[in-house]
């Protein structure tokens, strides 16, 4: 297999693995997912199929399982050294990347695949949008046009949540966000009960700490950055907006219901302007700069297929 360094040899912390070489890493793994599972897991407009799962995500889930086993081995060795049993805590995986890059499909798929390994049957998934400040608070702080920017989150709450999970707490809950109503759902929570693995998915999970405090990225055991060309991501965003406009926006409860009757041209213009004002600048200023902090980067082509995997050297 050919593995080349990124850039000038020796100057990057990643090894770059082309799709063909990556796909060959798990040729004989039994494929337990069916077409129907994939339909259930993929987000609106995501073309994920069985081939993509077999060639990209089967090897990825096997690699992640090795890292989980590695962490358990380290814990056992440290326990022997200390002559004191260190209690196991969930292995925490962060999944980062732009709005509309397809993080949620990947996170849901990994959850399903990792739970099929006999040593990690309990896998939970939490998305960081639950830690967005409620709209009323965003309005008070003048941040309604900054949704998804680091300052639009209850960052302390998110760090507290992951810290508690990583401390081995038996039950930790997180708030829930609704894309439909575009706000936090009062009174609703997801409860995480000491799983084998916790996946935390969100735009900003790789952000470094501010002012010497702890960041959620300090608590991850492994992180994945989902990467693609900005022009492709913007197109995916606009295409998804059009699909939503024909579907979810028709619901009177949808925050975007007022866009339900736009012509296609008007809807494209609206989506482009939301991209230009919010999601594009956030990608450029906050999300993309964190890519180099990931343990692994999945680089997607214009059709969402992964073309290259970058894995941090050990």
Ligand X SMILES: Nc1ncnc2c1ncn2[C@@H]1O[C@H](COP(=O)(O)OP(=O)(O)O)[C@@H](O)[C@H]1O
Ligand Y SMILES: CC(C)(COP(=O)(O)O)[C@@H](O)C(=O)NCCC(=O)O
Site residues (CB under 6 A) for ligand X? 43-44, 97, 99-104, 179-180, 244, 248, 256
The distance of Cα 75 from the centroid of its chain, to the nearest Å, equals: 26
For ligand Y, the closer CB: 23 or 93: 93
For ligand Y, the closer CB: 61 or 152: 152
Instruction: Return the H-helix or E-strand segment holding 145.
Output: none
Q: How far apart are CA 63 and CA 165, in angstroms?
A: 23
Compute the least distance from the CB of residue 53 to ligand X, in Å. 16
For ligand Y, the closer CB: 23 or 95: 95
| Residue 125 near residue 257 (C-beta atoms within 8 A) | no
Compute the least distance from the CB of residue 146 to ligand Y, in Å. 9
DSSP 114: H
Q: How far apart are CA 15 and CA 25, in angstroms?
A: 15
Q: What is the largest CA-CA distance in the chain?
A: 69
61 annotated ligand binder: no
148 annotated ligand binder: no
Out of ligand X, ligand Y, none, what residue 274 binds, judged by CB under 5 to 8 A for its kind, is ligand Y
Q: Binding string to ligand Y for residues 270 to 299, with x set by CB under 6 A, is what? A: ----x---xx--------------------
Compute the least distance from the CB of residue 148 to ligand X, in Å. 8
Compute the least distance from the CB of residue 236 to ligand Y, in Å. 12
28 annotated ligand binder: no
The distance of Cα 292 from the centroid of its chain, to the nearest Å, equals: 15
Q: Which of 176, 177, 219 is nearest to 198 (CA)?
A: 219
Distances (CA, A) of 246 to 100, 202, 239, 251: 17, 26, 11, 10
Pull the structure tokens for residue 4. Answer: 């080349």
157 annotated ligand binder: no
For ligand X, the closer CB: 97 or 175: 97
99 annotated ligand binder: yes
Binding site for ligand Y (CB under 6 A): 99, 127-129, 147-148, 202-203, 274, 278-279
Q: Which residues are annotated as part of the binding site?
A: 97-104
């Amino acid at each position: 297999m050919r593995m080349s360094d990124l850039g000038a040899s020796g100057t990057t912390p990643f090894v770059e693995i082309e799709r063909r070489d990556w796909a060959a890493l798990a040729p004989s793994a039994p494929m337990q997912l069916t077409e129907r599972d994939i339909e259930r897991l993929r987000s609106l407009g995501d073309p994920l199929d069985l081939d993509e799962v077999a060639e990209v995500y089967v090897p990825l889930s096997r690699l992640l399982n090795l890292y989980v086993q590695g962490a358990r081995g380290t814990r056992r060795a440290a326990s022997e050294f200390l002559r004191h049993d260190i209690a196991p805590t969930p292995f925490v995986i962060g999944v980062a990347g732009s709005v509309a890059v397809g993080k949620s499909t990947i996170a849901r798929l990994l959850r399903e695949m990792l739970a099929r390994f006999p040593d990690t049957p309990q896998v939970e998934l939490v998305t960081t949008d639950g830690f967005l400040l409620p709209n009323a608070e965003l309005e008070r702080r003048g941040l309604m046009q900054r949704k998804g920017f680091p300052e639009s989150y209850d960052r302390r709450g998110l760090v507290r949540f992951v810290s508690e999970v990583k401390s081995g707490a038996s039950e930790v809950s997180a708030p829930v966000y609704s894309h439909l109503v575009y706000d936090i759902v009062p009174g609703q929570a997801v409860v995480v009960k000491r799983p084998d693995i916790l996946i935390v998915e969100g735009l900003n999970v790789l952000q470094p700490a501010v002012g010497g405090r702890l960041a959620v990225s300090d608590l991850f055991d492994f992180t994945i950055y989902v990467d693609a060309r900005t022009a492709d991501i913007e197109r995916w965003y606009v295409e998804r907006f059009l699909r939503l406009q024909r579907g979810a926006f028709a619901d009177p409860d949808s925050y975007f219901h007022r866009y339900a009757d736009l012509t296609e041209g008007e809807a494209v213009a609206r989506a482009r302007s939301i991209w230009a004002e919010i999601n594009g600048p956030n990608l450029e200023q906050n999300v993309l700069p964190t890519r180099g902090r990931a343990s692994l980067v999945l680089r997607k082509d214009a059709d969402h297929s992964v073309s290259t995997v970058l894995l941090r050297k050990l």
